[in-house]
Structures are given as C-alpha cells and as structure tokens.
Chain A
Amino acid sequence: MRLGLVIDMDTCVGCHACAVACKQWNTSGTTGPLTDYRPYGEDPSGVWFNRIRHYEVGDYPNNKTVNIPMSCMHCEHADCVNVCPTGASYKRPEDGIVLVDQDKCMGCNYCAWACPYGARELDREDGVMKKCTLCVDRIYDEQLPPEERQPACVITCPAHARFFGDFDDDASEVSRLIRERGGVKQMPELGYKPVNTYLPPRITRSIPTDDVRANTLITSVKDWVNKMVAR
C-alpha cells in the first residue's frame, strides 16, 4: 500500500481551509501541539503541516492564478529518513507514511535540510521536528464512520480539490485521476519520487480582451477622480 494525496490545481481556490483543518485536527493529534509563536502579536508565526502558496503562471493575457497547497509528499525515496542520525524519522513499510518519533528526535534540523518540499518544521517550544502524518490517527480509526476515515484536509476542502487513496491500487480514485488528468510530480529531477501528485489546470478557452474599452480623455479623467476619492 502506498498512501498519499492527489491535489487538483484546477479547482483549488486557495482558501487555506485545508491548512486550518489540518492545524485544528493535528494540534491535538499524535504529534501535537502545533505550537504558535506570538499568536496575538504583530508577527504571528507557528508550526503548520500544510501551506498554500499562490502563483501567476503564464504572461498576460494568457496568464492564470494557480494555488499550490503543499504538505509531506511521503516520498518513496525519502532522504529525510536516510539522513536522520537518531532514527526518529521513519517510513512505515506497510503504507509508506513518513513519521517522526517525537521521543527520539534531537532537533538537529538535518531532515528539514534534506526535504526539497519544505514539509518539515521544527517546533521551537518542544525542540522536535514535526510534519504531516497523513492523519494516521484518523484514517485507521474504526470508531469513525468509514467516510470520515480520511485526512482532515481532504474532508474539509470546499472545492473538492483534494483526494486521498492508495496509489498502488490501479482501481482507486487517486490512480484513476492521475491517469485521466495527467498527474504531475514536483521536482522529479531530484529523484525523491514523491507520492503526492498534482493535477494540472484544465485547458480552457482564453477570455477575450478585445472588448475592453479603450482609454479616452473622459475615462482618464474619471479614473483619476475615482483614485483621488478612494484615497
């Protein structure tokens, strides 16, 4: 079994709900808390297992905003595990989930250096490395109804842009999506073989821009007035 996520860059709206749901679930989970530093201060920071970044792809007028949520890719060649000197970092043979044993970690940051995807963050309060667990304390919980045995980020996504499943099973939804939509991996040239896969934005018709009004003296004056009034 090779568990992981498929993330649809076409439908992701960049709302950060997955990151918030992740924080809410995992802060009281097996590797919690996800400590916050200065939560009510001027520059609040803290530990997150999932971060969403926003990019502009292409040049105007053929450009597009793409939101890319990133968490642990649970790589097949997980260098973070190989470089760990203490044995705190490990990859489970049965499902491929990469985890950190909080009791063994000495907080040397070496695994974070080895990770190309920024998946690992040191908790400065606890002095240990923390990372996405793929909600290992949720997906196997038989107390939960079967449809809820999924990572918190997947369940919460309002755009239905996140999918969880077994990448070794050709009939699974994740495998089907990768086949049909041409799933892609980040930085494959580094050879980490990340499991998490991204679905590229669908090709859509371009939005015509030839009806955009041309600048005249009147519109220029109006724009200027609007700018001044807004200030």
Chain B
Amino acid sequence: MHPAFSVILFTVISGAGYGLFLLLVAFHLAGIGPVMSHGELIAHGVAALGMITVGLMLSTGHLANKKNAWRSFMRFKTSWLSREAVFAVLFYPFAAIYGLGVLVQGHEVGPLAAVAGAIAAVLAVVTLFSTGMIYGCLKTIRQWNTALTPANYILLGVATGAVAFAAIASVFGNATAMHAGVAIVLLLIAGVLKGIYYFWISRVTGPTINTATTFNRATVRLLDTGHTAGTFLTDEFGYDAGKNTTDTLKMGVFLLAFGTPILVFAAILSGVPAVVAWLGLVAALVGVIMERWLFFAEARHVVRLYHGDQHT
C-alpha cells in the first residue's frame, strides 16, 4: 500500500493523545500515583485533547472530496471508518464535561465529571479499536486482516500516551516510579505484540496468482498488464519498499519505539532526573511513525496478484 503521510501522522498523534487521556483519567480518578496539582491536570488534558484534535484534522488530508467528509457518520451500522468517526466525535462532549470539572473543581472533581471522564476514557479505547478495525476487517490485505491489528493500535496508542504522561508529569516535578513502571510495562507488551505481528506476516497465506486467475493446476505468469503507464491501482497498491528498507526500519522501530524509551525509564528508576522522559517521548514518536509507515508499506493488496505477484 502507498503510505499516506496524513493517515500515518493522524493515527500516531491522535493515538498518543487517546492514550494520554486514558492514563490521565486512570491516574486521576482511580487514585494511582501521586496527587496531581491543578496545573498538571490541565496540562495533561490540554495536551491530550490538542493531540487528538490535530490528528483528526490531519486525517481529512487524504480525502479527495473534503466537502463530503461530514457524510462519513452515515454508515455506523456497517463501516468501521464510520464508527471511528462517530466514536471520535462522541468522545468530545464527555471529555469536555470532565475537563470542565477539573478546571472548576481541581483534583477533587464531582461525580458527574468523574463519570464523564470514565466514559470518555472508554470511548478513547473504543476509537483506537475502531481505527485498528478499519484495517483489520479488510480480507483483501492479509497483513492487516488479523486480530493483532486492532490490538497493536490500542497498545501503541496507550504506550506512547504513557510516555507522554510521564514526560508532562516531569515538568511539574511529579513523575514517580509509578509513571516509569507503567510506561515500561505498556512498552514491553506493545513491543512483544509488534514482534509477534512481524513474525505473523512473514508467513505467506491466502490467495495466490492461481486462485486470482482461476488456474489452480498450472503455473501462471503475467505477460502484460495491458497499460503502458501507471494506473490508480498501481499507484495505490503497487508500492514496494524493498526488503532491505523494511528490515532496517524494523530494527529502528524496536530501537526507537520500544528500546530507547524503556532504557530512559529504567534510567529514571535508577535516579536520573525525570525530565529525560522527553527524550523517550521523542524517540517513541519517531519510532511509532516508522512503525506506522511500515504497516502501510508492507501491506500487500490481493490486486497485486493480477499485476504479476505470485502471492501477497
């Protein structure tokens, strides 16, 4: 698949935003970790909502006909893209009630704001799940059509959110071992899952050029695609990054998205000043952008079989 940068940035940035929001609500309402000051609560909330909003605006960047974007709420019953749009918008009123409660009442929010915050946190995860299912439900792309896809979207969103949460807390001198520990555990789970995913997609399954052309008992080779220049299909699905590039980037993903932030938080646990969490955040975001680019670049649509690929 052709990697569209608007979609890559949208999923990475708003994913981290939803993760940050989830962590904020969990730490605040469930009372995990230290009591947060009024200023710190607001900083977390503004950062989360800002990232989510910027991401959602970027997501319209790949639409060829933006004036009809509002219609994407219309097919909630069948389309995961529609569900993502609905859940993403539904998140806002609940997040706003919670945010207003924090703004007015500080750390000791009333029951209405608390319930709204909890609902918004659930909607954040549901939105991440819907984003993953947009890709996971496509039978045409075996690299996406697996339960690991939505699991990856949720875990990478929450893990990068946890890194951002610790980084922002460090500004207020409030980053504790709890912050670092939660981030390390989430990064480890997300990293292991990503490793399983890369192992999974390296095993070839699914349709071949034989089932695509109906000739199941003979070798089939493409003679001619019937067009001299590129088409919409070759532009959209013909992308090939090459094994060297993808292998190098995979090492980069494990190094930057998981390895560096885990080391940073291990250092914080052993006494290094907590502001280095920002270094972990930059590494994690760059690493996850590489991960998301690979997610698209390695996806091989079955229409490629008609253009000469023996398998996807």
Contacts and interface: CB of A to CB of B under 8 A. Distances in A.
A155 interface: no
B232 A106 contact: no
B218 to A, nearest CB: 4
A47 B232 contact: yes
Interface in B214-235: 214-215, 218-233
A158 interface: no
Contacts of A43: 228-230
A79 interface: yes
Interface residues of A, number: 62
Contacts of A21: none
Nearest to A42: B229
Interface in B129-163: 134, 137-141
Given A84-B79, A106-B66, A106-B68, A190 B224 contact: no
Nearest to A41: B229
- Interface extent on B, as a size class? 35 or more
Interface in A90-132: 104-110, 112-118, 121-122, 124, 126-128
A108 B63 contact: yes
Contacts of A47: 232
A144 interface: no
A117 to B, nearest CB: 7
Contacts of A56: 220-223
B211 A189 contact: yes
Interface stretch (B50-58, B91-99, B280-288, B299-307): B299-307
Given A45-B230, A106-B63, A109-B236, A86 B303 contact: no
Given A55-B220, A55-B221, A85 B214 contact: no
A187 interface: yes
Interface in A47-64: 47-48, 51-59
Contacts of B65: 105-107, 126-128
Contacts of B306: 53, 68, 70, 117-118
Contacts of A104: 68, 71
B213 interface: yes
B213 A186 contact: yes
A224 B206 CA distance: 47
Nearest to B237: A118
Contact of A117 (B64, B73, B138, B303): B303
B139 A116 contact: yes
